[in-house]
Amino acid sequence: MQNADTLVPIPRLPLELEREIFELAAWHDKPTMLVLILVASRVRVWIEPLLHRVFHTETKEDIQALHDRLTNNPAHAASLRYLLVTCSTPEVYPALEYILRACSNLVDLGIWVDSKPADDLARLEVTSPRVTHLSLKLEHLAGDLPGHRRRIFAPDLGCFASLTHLDLIDSKPASELGAIMQLLKSPVLPSLRYLAIADAKTEVYLAILALPRPLPLRILCAYGDSVHEDQEAQVPDLRFCVVYSREYTDDWTQAAWRKAGFWELAEGRVADRRAKAAANEADAARRS
C-alpha cells in the first residue's frame, strides 16, 4: 500500500484559467454547453450565461418559450445580449414587450417582422442602456409614414442613445428619403456612426452622405436584391459600400458569436475602396 507521504498531488489550474478553458470549449456550441454544465456546480455558473447569451426566435412558440424561461428564472435575463425576432404574428408582442423590459444588458436587437397589426398595442420599451446594434424596418423606427402608423418604439427613441449601428431592412420608395432624412436630422440616435439601408435608390444614399451631422457617419452600406455593385461607382464618397450576402440570419448569428458578420463585411468593403483609391492616387502622382 502506498504511503500517504509519497502521493503526488494532482496539479490544479488557476480558477481563472480553468474558467476560460471551459468557456472556450462551450463557445457557440450548445450541445457542449449542455454537457459541461453537468460537470460541476462551478462550471454551471460559468457556462449557464452562455446558454442565454444569444437567441434567435423564429416562431411564436420560440418567443413564448423564451418568455416563460425568463419569467421562471428572472436571473437569466441579465445574460441575454443578442436577440433576433423573425416571427411575425401579432401574438408575439406581449411576450416581446416583457423580454425587452427584462433584458437590461441587451446590446444587439433585430426585429424582422411584419408591420404591427393594431395601433392599440403598447409600444415596445427597451430598458437596456447598452444597445449598440439595431436592425428593423424603417417604419417601425420612424413611424407615421404616409398611410402608416407603425412605430413600435417611443418617438424620442431615448432607449437608443448608445446606438452606433443601425440596419434598416427595408424602405418604402414613395417616402423613404423624407422619413430617413427626418430621422437623421432629429436630435435622436446621437451615437450613430454606421448605417445600412436595404433596397434604396442611389439618391437616398447620396443625400444621407451630404447631410451634416454632429457625429458623421463612418459607413453607409447598401444591400438587398435591388442593389448592384455599380452603385459604388455612382457614389464617390468612400464611406459608402455595397454588401452582398446570401444569408443575413447567419451573418447576424456569426457576429453575435464574435465572428465576421454583416458589419464586418461592410467594414472590409470600405477598407478595400479606400485602399484602391489610395493606390490610384499614388499611381497618378508617380505619373505626373
What does pTM read for this prediction?
0.87
| 6-20, 89-103, 252-266: range with highest mean pLDDT | 252-266
Question: Is residue 250 domain-shared with residue 233, that is, in the same domain?
Answer: yes
Distance CA(18)–CA(12), nearest Å, equals 9
Domain region containing 68: 53-276
Question: Is residue 100 domain-shared with residue 233, that is, in the same domain?
Answer: yes
Question: Is residue 223 domain-shared with residue 170, that is, in the same domain?
Answer: yes
Question: Is residue 80 domain-shared with residue 22, that is, in the same domain?
Answer: no
Question: Is residue 34 domain-shared with residue 74, that is, in the same domain?
Answer: no
pLDDT in tens, 180-232: 888 888 888 999 999 999 988 899 999 999 998 888 999 999 998 888 878 89
Does residue 126 contact residue 160 with C-beta atoms inside 8 Å?
yes
pLDDT in tens, 250-270: 999 999 999 999 999 999 999
Question: Is residue 125 domain-shared with residue 188, that is, in the same domain?
Answer: yes
6 in a structural domain: no
State the pLDDT at residue 3.
Answer: 57
Question: Is residue 191 domain-shared with residue 116, that is, in the same domain?
Answer: yes
Largest CA distance in the chain: 89
pLDDT in tens, 55-75: 999 999 999 999 999 999 999
Question: Is residue 112 domain-shared with residue 130, that is, in the same domain?
Answer: yes
- For residue 62, what is its C-alpha cell? 420560440
281 in a structural domain: no
Distance CA(245)–CA(74), nearest Å, equals 36
Q: Which residues pair with 255 in a beta bridge?
A: none
Does residue 208 contact residue 217 with C-beta atoms inside 8 Å?
yes
Question: Is residue 94 domain-shared with residue 236, that is, in the same domain?
Answer: yes
CATH number at residue 257: 3.80.10
Distance CA(244)–CA(199), nearest Å, equals 12
Distance CA(228)–CA(244), nearest Å, equals 9
